[in-house]
Amino acid sequence: MSPISVTKFCEKNVIKRNQFNSIVRGLIVSTVFLLFTVQTVLGQVGVPRSYENGMVVSADQIASDIGKDVLKQGGNAVDAAVATHFALSVTFPVAGNLGGGGFMVLHLNNGTQQTLDFRETAPSQTSQEDYLNSSGDPNGRTRKGPFSVGVPGSVHGMITALQKYGTMPLDLILEPAIDIARNGFRLNYQQARRLNLSRNKFSKYPSSDLFSSSEEDSFQEGDLFVQKDLAATLERIAQFGNAGFYRGITAELIVKQIQKLGGKMTLNDLESYESVWRDPIKTSFKGYDLLLMPPPSSGGIAIAQILNMINEYDPEDYGWNSADYIHLLTEAEKRAYADRAYFLGDPDYVAQPTPLLISEEYARDRFQSFDPRKATPVDSVSHGDVPFFEESMETTHFSVVDQKGNAVSVTTTLNSAYGSGIVVGEAGFLLNNEIDDFAVKPGVPNQFGLIGGKANAIQPGKRMVSSMSPTIVTQNGEIRMVLGSPGGSTIITTVLQVFLNVALFDMNIQQAVAAPRVHHQWRPEEIYFEPFALSKKEQFELYIRGHKLKERDSYVGHANCIYIHGNGLLDGGADPRGLNSVSGY
Ligand code: DON
């Protein structure tokens, strides 16, 4: 910091020069202490669990074990991923689901690299007007109640992936999930607590009775949680495949539930739902090749853009979470999130300049305004100039690698915790509230503070833009990392930081996942950071450059990742922010 800016800072904050000096001395002492603490914490949580053959890392121990058992029985990574997903729909109802949607990225040992989009769609009878009041302002229906529900995609996605790349029959894959739904499982402390925290959401809907509790009779750790209706729904899926969910009894129960509450989903919406295979977004960074999710996820484009913008620099020399590093990263994030808000939407509805957005030239151009000493005010950051463009809190991630060298990265969501809170009566599963991921009105933020425009406006049958970023990283053709996280708008920056922690700072995957994180999403004009993510000295440095900073009381993401060594050894990185778990053999 130059003597002139010290003088200005003192004047602005009405402090004397000697007071300033003692503050700086205090900051240095506390920084050394903080770095020591972080080092110690990282040292303790930083030992990955390793296995030689196959691995599943998910948000729940039972689900990870079910996936691992499939691998041990000779199933491949896709078989295990599908089994893990259905198990999470039973044991992790806060986000695991039948009534939501998501994305899958695959890298198979025969070189196949693909992504599957099973994002929800807006029901055919809804329109933007359903979500605005007479003054043209949002009426709250995107987030709550029957209008918030998108047509679910998860079941279609899982069955489609299994049919194309799996090796085991669906009914066998579903057996363990059906068993734990029918016979119950013991709630852990977090599951009981989360259910209790959402009691007001469930109490609005009689069909959600099983999840509902009262102050006097709350869920406790160790309670046996039995879901007979869900078991019956899973059995119908095991017997009839997609038709067991999108047609017949289950479809009728979904439509009955939504229409009873005044919503507009139809049997035809369910029958015509399709998941879509899409080409991955590909980018390279310092010797790593990344396989990323394309739109309607914004994750792939945003991560590629940010990496391209910082690629011209040598952030590995700056030091982990130093002011220089965080300044570089957040300035790139601002520009990528501004582009997200303007350009991105469902690729089947709006044209988007994807190749240009992820090109190195565009990144160079976009980052020309970057000043290493000064934050760019967000008002002066808008979307990039794209001349040829024609306009036309809850998620869960799991990573799987099998013995044969196949990798699968899956993120799925109901959007908010327990989605809309609406359980489909007699079918036992929760419906999403994904409509809130659309831009209900230009400039009006959704629950994650994200804004959007025309490209992400609500239209019948359209998919809403997502931040979910399942990712696979290879190096010289070998799979190196399988990455992903929940966390709404922070998913993108979480996946990015886990990758960079390994790629730039040589952390092992458990350290990379555990390390405290920092986030910027263009608007609001704030760097969010987790406790211990930034020392007082780095906070001060960033403040002097013009950044606004806010310590976040909630976590930034819950990453569940795998690192594969050159000799094939698998390291699991389960996020200690929750009861995420590694299972392998
Ligand atoms: O698709 C999205 O970007 C959001 N619906 C994800 C929601 C989420 O991650 C909430 N979890 N923490």
* Angle made by CA atoms 278, 101, 578, in degrees to the nearest 5: 115
Beta pairing, strands 549-551 & 527-529: parallel
Distance 407 CA to ligand 1 centre (A): 23
d(CA 478, CA 499): 16
Atom of ligand 1 at shortest range from CA of 558: 12
Q: Whole-angstrom Cα distance, residue 33 to residue 102?
A: 42
Query: Does 21 have pLDDT greater than 80?
Result: no
pLDDT digits (tens, 9 = 90+) for 428-486: 999 999 999 999 999 889 999 999 999 999 999 999 999 999 999 999 999 999 999 99
> Using an 8 Å Cβ cutoff, are 472 and 479 in contact?
yes
Instruction: Calculate how far, in angstroms, residue 416's C-alpha sits from the geometric centre of ligand 1.
Output: 7
Given pLDDT bands bounded at 50, 70 and 90, which one contains residue 392? very low
User: Would you tell me how many other CB atoms lie within 10 Å of the CB of residue 553?
Assistant: 7
What single letter denotes the amino acid at residue 215?
E
- pLDDT tens, residue by residue, 146-191: 999 999 999 999 999 999 999 999 999 999 999 999 999 999 999 9
Residues with Cβ within 8 Å of 461's Cβ and at least 6 positions away in sequence, in order, are 121, 122, 124
Q: What is the pLDDT of residue 32?
A: 42
Q: Quote the pLDDT of residue 201.
A: 95
**Which residue is listed with tokens 């053709």?**
477
| Contact indicator for 398, 410 with CB cutoff of 8 Å | yes
Strand partners, 374: 371
CA of 521 to the centre of ligand 1 (A): 14
Torsion, Cα of 184, 188, 189, 190 (10° steps): -100
Q: Is the pLDDT of residue 552 over 70?
A: yes
Which tokens sit at 311? 């690629």
Dmax (CA) of the chain: 77
What mean pLDDT, rounded, does the chain reach?
A: 92
**Mean pLDDT of the region 207-220:** 97
Distance 394 CA to ligand 1 centre (A): 6
Q: Rounded distance, CA 284 to CA 289, Å?
A: 4
Q: Both tokens of residue 494?
A: 């979480």
Which DSSP symbol is given to 471? Answer: E
Other CB atoms closer than 10 Å to residue 268's CB: what's the count?
A: 13
The token pair that represents 528 in the structure block: 């969010």
Whose alpha carbon is nearest atom 11 of ligand 1? 394
Quick one: DSSP state of residue 464?
P
**What span, in angstroms and rounded, lies between the C-alpha atoms of 145 and 414?**
13
pLDDT at 45: 59
Tell the residue number behind the tokens 């893990």, with chain if given: 84
CA 255 to chain centre: 28
Length of the chain: 585
Q: Do the Cβ atoms of 542 and 371 come closer than 8 Å?
A: no
Q: What are phi and psi of 97, to 5 degrees?
A: -160, 160
Instruction: Please compute the mean of the pLDDT values over residues 325-330 and round it to a whole number.
Output: 98
Nearest residue to 528 via CA among 547, 559, 549: 549
Bridge partners (DSSP) of residue 584 are 55
Q: How far apart are CA 416 and CA 426, in angstroms?
A: 22
In which residue are the tokens 């994002």 written? Answer: 119
- What number is the average pLDDT over the span 384-412? 82
341 within 8 A of 359, measured Cβ to Cβ:
no
Amino acid symbol at 103: F
Q: Report percent pLDDT > 70 for the chain.
A: 91
Pocket residue to mutate for ligand 1, from 293, 448, 495, most atoms within 8 A of Cβ: 448
Lowest pLDDT segment from 41-55, 107-121, 299-313:
41-55
Q: What CA–CA distance (Å, rounded) separates 243 from 439?
A: 32
Instruction: For residues 146 and 158, give the distance between their C-alpha atoms in angstroms, rounded to a whole number.
Output: 24
Residue closest via CA to ligand 1's atom 5 equals: 415
pLDDT at 477: 95
Neighbours of 111 (CB within 10 A): 7
| Cβ partners under 8 Å of residue 383, min gap 6 | 338, 339, 341, 342, 343
7 is known as an active-site residue? no
In this model, does residue 44 exceed pLDDT 50? no
Residue 152: DSSP 8-state: P
Q: Is the peptide bond before 524 cis (omega within 30 degrees of 0)?
A: yes
The 3 state secondary structure assigned to 199-252 is HHHHHCCHHHHHHCCCCCCCCCCCCEECCHHHHHHHHHHHHHCCHHHHCHHHHH
Measured distance CA(251)–CA(244) in Å, rounded: 8
Q: Which of 432, 467, 489, 558 to mutate for ligand 1's pocket (most ligand atoms within 8 Å of CB)?
A: 467
Helix (H) / strand (E) containing 36 = helix 17-45
> H-helix or E-strand containing 235?
helix 228-240
- Parallel/antiparallel/unpaired status of strands 281-285 and 185-186: unpaired
pLDDT score for 4: 46
The catalytically annotated residue of 115, 250, 354, 395 is 395
State the burial class of residue 359 (Cβ atoms within 10 Å of its Cβ: 0-12, 13-18, 19+).
middle
Which pLDDT score, from 0 to 100, does residue 380 have? 83
Task: Give the whole-angstrom CA distance, residue 334 versus residue 326.
Answer: 12
Asked if residue 176 lies in contact with residue 87, where contact means CB atoms within 8 angstroms, the answer is: yes
What is the model's pLDDT at position 23? 53
> For ligand 1, atom 4, which residue shows the shortest CA distance?
488
Tokens for 206? Answer: 């009689």
DSSP secondary structure code for residue 169 in this structure: -
Which residue's CA lies nearest to atom 2 of ligand 1? 466
What SS3 state is found at 287? coil
Please tell me the distance between residue 434's alpha carbon and the centre of ligand 1 in angstroms: 9
- pLDDT greater at residue 24 or residue 224: 224
